[in-house]
Amino acid sequence: MATDSQLSPAKTLLLAVHLAGQADIEGLSKLSSVYKESLRGHVLLRILLTYLPETTMPQAYVNFLRELKRGQFAARPDIEPDDSVVSDLSEELATKDANKLPLLPLDFSDVSRQCVDEFSRFLILKARRMDAEAGMLRHVPELLLPFLDHSPSLRSWILSTALPFVRRNTEYYAESAPTYSLGQFQELSAHEAVLYLLSRSGGSQRTHGDLCRDLRGLIGPWIHNEERWLELADEHAPAVATRASCMIKCPGWERVLEWLVSQAIISCEVLFDALKHWGGPSDVEIGDEVSLDFPQSKQRYLDESYARAMLASAYVMPEVSWNSLTDLYQVCCRLRSLLAHGQVDVSLPDVLSELPDVSIPEVPVSGAARTASFLRKDLLLPSNPLTSASHFSTSLLKALVLSALLASRLGVLWTLRRAGDLAILQDEKEQKVELGRLIHAISGNANDDDAWLRARRELLWLHDWGQPNEDSHTSPIGAVLGAVSKDYIEGEFLKALLSKSRYALARSIFEQGTSQPLIASKVQEAVYQSALSAFDNASTTNRTRGGLKKCEEILHALPTLVDSLLPASRRIQALLKATHALSDCRLVLNKGEPFSPVVLRLHSDPISIIGMALQQNNQAYTRLHEFLEMGKNIVDAELPTCANSDWARTQASALVAERRITAMCIEAALKEHDFETAYSYVVSRLQTTAGDADKSRYDDWSWHAALQAGQYVRTEQSQRPTHLGTSSGNPEVRHLEQRSECLAAALRIAPTSRLQEILQCFRRCEEQLHSAIMEEAANEAAWDATAADLSDIPGTYDSPPPGTPYPPRNMTASATFRQVEEAPMSLFNLSKATAKMAQRNLPQLSSLPSIGIPTLSGPHESERRTRKRDQLREVATGTLVSGVGWLIGANVSQGKAEGSDQDVQRPA
């Protein structure tokens, strides 16, 4: 290299440019040390910025930059730069070329705004060019970190801008090309920069640690930049905060919080798994021996706003799991520690084991509905009392998280918003719904007595949050099951024990314990409801197995408190007996739907089920005694004996059930052409006694069944009688006589409005009987005439003298025939008994609208001053005689003038 007097400033500048372009840092350093006046600091920085190749590794010129920064270059006696490139240039040409050198400026507007000194601006511009021109982003920290302490502004830019950008694109997500260059990233708004830094940290990531790493390594450093902070006017500050915190705001940080809340909706498990490892805004990863600290006011703002975001994230979770809830509990503990709320929280296993008392401070707002509305709106506003980072909000969050964890362990998943609604609104109906879900889950998950006892303890904690004395609650917010009474919870738990056949455990808790949690009446109510529930869920009508067997077992599970002699116990026992009576019957109500016991209990007319059984089972009518016993049990079970019946009004329910079932069996027997059985039921079961007069008005089936039996006509399908007794040997005559008896029974028990119809049937039957008797008598007379001369018949010894007729085969029919005159007195004799029995039907017959009340004729008209009851009885008898007298040909005298009632006289 030439001596000092040989290189002009122009040639020195051109040689420096040449050495920089060749990346000859040693030569440039030697040249700079020799020509200090020509190569001043800012000139060398511009030459390096413009001509030093961006591909040059920073390690090659970092020491030169240090020397340049100090203004002292190390001596390099062995280095001689080659000046041949400028030695042949004339001074004029060298000056001209030097003036034309396109050196980049160091005062770009966006850079000058951040850094005042030229050296800092050079480093920023050089780092940006390394990334944009050569893709040397990975080596940018090697250029910048050695000068981290050069100036506060450079330090802030390196840590808050360059470091997060380099980490994201070269360490964390190096597999994809950067969307922006370093210079473009620096120019992004706070909103766009946050979204870019966290664009790969969302819920789709596979490793849960990525979000925590990104928050610590990207967002933590990024917010440490004064240019990203603003001051607000007083009107934006909440009344509960200090003036200093009200005046401070970081839009980028608040955008981070909004992003975190949105992630709670997308993937709450990823979010809280990351947040439980992140210590909040003060947990920043910079590097060794590097730290970032905020002033107290800014740190308070960051902590409180971060707490609001965590509380808001908890309440917006659309669904939860055991893992997300456990992570949320750890986040809650970290949050309370960060805000210095209370003592150090114990670990989750210890909390779930001990179930400590949880007290909630007084609610800062009034009105449950208004408080609950804050679970859904304005979650990130400082004015929201549920997310305001106060002692109340963090205590409530802890209680709700523990409640959700216990519910999850019992088998029901509650979101924090659902648990909050239950605790704040205190809606008894909603809490009972959730209690039912919990009980159902416990019944399916508890496998031993210890699990049941633990579940009961947790249910009671959910009722009072560990504070059994209700007077100790100073806050209107109660436990998630606080609106439900403790007795109701204990009763539902007892039902669950009984439904799962945990009878011994139920006795040990509710019957044998020193302190019984329920009074006897509550225990009885729970037992009866459980027994009926088992009955309703039964699929078979046999009480020796299935649901009916379980029903009976539950009924006897607590014998000390639930005695078998109690009225409710007797009713359920009667219900079981009534249901068991159908166990031998094939019964289908709807096509393809077998009969189940619950139908009998809930049916509006359970007696009608017996009619269905009679229809679907051949000869079931022969089991009349069993069905009558079933009807008695239906009455004892206080089930309705007929549609729209009133137990309090119908005092004769047992008789109504008996009469109705008997009528059903009669009708079933007639449908199967078993007239003999139907006739026997009519004459033996449908007799009316004097004490049944009032009760019979509820009976609308007996007379109809007797009428149907009286209207039955024998066919070839009719079953033959097994014995004749004293009846006629003629089947037709015998059948008509039996029909007459059935119709007579119908007359005795029928209501007044139906007597005319029955009398018409009775008349037709009498006519048929009379015709049958005459036909039989004519046949006997013909037989007698044919057999008058027996002399020609072999073997006729001791024949009677001529003119003496043989005795007829049937004395009854012959005598009847010989006594027949124009007035058939036999019908009157037959009706005489009917009229006698009809005296017992006085209330109905006396009000018969179609028949008047005549005066019975007699020889002593003066003897009318008898008792009124005897008078009415005689009137009733006369009424029946007047109604049937014309049938038997009696002399019927006309009464008074036209329109008067007829007076039927008894024939002599």
Residue-wise pLDDT for 277-333, tens only, equals 999 999 999 877 777 788 899 999 999 999 999 999 999 999 999 999 999 999 999
Strand partners, 249: 230
Report the pLDDT value the prediction gives residue 875, as an integer from 0 to 100: 43
Confidence of residue 907 (pLDDT cuts 50, 70, 90): very low
Helix axes 391-410, 428-445, angle to 10 degrees: 40
Residue 653, amino acid: S
Give the model's pLDDT for residue 688. Answer: 56
Q: Is the pLDDT of residue 243 over 50?
A: no
pLDDT at 738 over 50: yes
| Mean pLDDT along residues 134-146 | 94
789-812 as b/e: b if 16+ CB within 10 A: eeeeeeeeeeeeeeeeeeebebee
Domain total in the chain: 2
H or E, element range at 418? helix 416-425
Local confidence band at 700 (pLDDT 50, 70, 90 cut-offs): confident
Q: Residue 677 to residues 256, 594, 709, 740: CA-CA distances in angstroms?
A: 91, 30, 10, 16
Give the pLDDT confidence score for residue 191 in this predicted structure.
95
Q: Which residue range is the domain that position 861 belongs to? A: 827-908
In a domain, 371, yes or no: no
**3-state SS, one letter per residue, for 678-690:** HHHHHHHHCCCCH
Using the predicted structure, report yes or no on whether residue 549 has a pLDDT greater than 80: yes
Percentage, residues of the chain above pLDDT 90: 56
Average pLDDT of span 345-350: 86
49 domain-assigned: yes
Per-residue pLDDT band at 112 (split at 50, 70, 90): low
774, 820 contact by CB (below 8 A): yes
Q: How far apart are the first and last CA of the chain?
A: 176
Token pair of 481, please?
């099951």
Structure tokens, 725: 């007794």
Neighbours of 383 (CB within 10 A): 12
pLDDT at 780: 83
150-208 pLDDT per residue, tens: 999 999 999 999 999 999 999 999 998 999 999 999 999 999 999 999 998 876 555 55
Is residue 142 situated within a structural domain?
no
Q: Quick one: angle between helices 251-266 and 190-197, nearest 10?
A: 40
What is residue 144's three-state secondary structure? Answer: helix
Q: Which amino acid is at 1?
A: M
Of the pLDDT bands very low, low, confident and very high (cuts 50, 70, 90), residue 816 is: very low
Q: Which two tokens stand for residue 318?
A: 């659309």
A 10 A CB-CB count for 297 gives: 15
Query: What contacts 331, CB < 8 A, 6 or more positions away?
Result: 272, 275, 276, 310, 314
The total of other beta-carbon atoms located within 10 Å of residue 906's CB is: 17
pLDDT at 86: 84
Q: Which of residues 104, 132, 164 is at a domain's end? A: 104
373-392: average pLDDT: 92
Whether residue 445 lies inside any domain: the answer is no
Final residue of a domain: which of 87, 104, 121? 104
Whole-number pLDDT of residue 804: 55
Residue 478 CB burial class (10 angstroms; 0-12, 13-18, ≥19): buried
Q: What is the mean predicted confidence (pLDDT) over 816-840? A: 47
pLDDT value at residue 65: 94
What is the separation of C-alpha 172 from the centre of its chain, rounded to a whole number of angstroms? Answer: 46
Chain length of the chain: 908
Sign of CA dihedral 675, 680, 683, 688: negative
**pLDDT for the residue 269:** 86
Q: Comparing 484 with 783, which gets the higher pLDDT?
A: 484
Confidence of residue 110 (pLDDT cuts 50, 70, 90): low
3-state secondary structure of 249: strand
Residue at token pair 């239906």: 634
Classified as helix, coil or strand, 248 is: strand
Please give the pLDDT value at position 273: 87
C-alpha to C-alpha distance for 462 and 404, rounded to whole angstroms: 10
Q: What one-character DSSP code corresponds to residue 482?
A: T
Cβ proximity of 131 and 146 under 8 Å: no
- Residue 635 CA to residue 640 CA, distance in Å, equals 7
Give the C-alpha separation, 223 to 256, whole Å.
10
Give the C-alpha distances (Å, rounded to integers) separating 758 from 540, 593, 635, 703, 771: 43, 40, 31, 9, 20
Chain segment 594-646, per-residue pLDDT in tens: 889 999 999 999 999 999 999 999 999 999 999 999 999 999 998 887 655 55
Encoded tokens for 264 = 């709670």
Task: Check whether 138 has a pLDDT greater than 50.
Answer: yes
Q: Are 481 and 489 in contact (CB under 8 A)?
A: yes
Residues 853-905: pLDDT tens digits?
A: 333 334 344 344 444 334 434 544 454 554 454 444 444 444 433 444 433 33
Residue 685: pLDDT over 80: yes
| C-alpha distances out from residue 410 to 330, 440, 455, 783, Å | 20, 9, 7, 96
pLDDT in tens, 45-59: 999 999 999 999 999
**Coil vs helix vs strand at 657:** helix
695 falls in which pLDDT band (50, 70, 90)? low
Say how far apart CA 271 and CA 209 lie, in whole Å. Answer: 10
- The average confidence (pLDDT) of the chain is 82
Give the model's confidence band at 453: pLDDT under 50 very low, under 70 low, under 90 confident, else very high: very high
CB neighbours of residue 536 within 10 Å: 15
For 753-776, the pLDDT digits (tens) are 889 999 999 999 999 999 988 988
- Which residue, 653, 813, 819, 846, is CA-closest to 727? 813
Q: Cβ neighbours of residue 265 under 8 Å, at least 6 residues apart?
A: 316, 317, 318
Q: Are 47 and 125 in contact (CB under 8 A)?
A: no
Of 86, 104, 122, the domain-final residue: 104
pLDDT attached to residue 834: 52
Query: Could you tell me what percent of the chain has a pLDDT over 70?
Result: 78
* DSSP label at residue 189: -
Residue 903 sits at φ, ψ, to 5 deg, of -115, 110
pLDDT at 323: 93
Question: What confidence score (pLDDT) does residue 163 get?
Answer: 95
The H or E element spanning position 417 is helix 416-425
Let me know if residue 225 belongs to a domain.
Answer: no
Which DSSP helix (H) or strand (E) runs through 253? helix 251-266
DSSP state of 162: I
Distance CA 169, CA 217 (A): 12
Note whether residue 896 is domain-resident. Answer: yes
Tell me the pLDDT band of 431, cut-offs 50, 70 and 90: very high
What was the pLDDT predicted at 417? 96
- pLDDT value, residue 114: 62
Q: What is the pLDDT of residue 644?
A: 53
Cα separation values, 149 from 157, 162, 427, Å: 11, 15, 61
- Integer Cα distance of 550 and 774 in angstroms: 67
Is position 91 within any domain?
yes
**How large is the angle between the packed helices 675-685 and 702-711, nearest 10 degrees?**
140
Residues linked to residue 593 through DSSP beta bridges, in sequence order = 590
**Residue 871 domain-assigned (yes or no):** yes
How far apart CA 663 and CA 757 sit, in angstroms, is 19
Q: Is the pLDDT of residue 548 over 90?
A: yes
SS3 at position 904: strand
- Could you give the angle at the alpha carbon of 257 between the alpha carbons of 296 and 392, nearest 5°? 70
In this prediction, residue 418 carries a pLDDT of 96
Write out pLDDT tens, residues 739-755. Answer: 999 999 999 888 888 89
What is the enclosing helix (H) or strand (E) of 893? strand 892-893
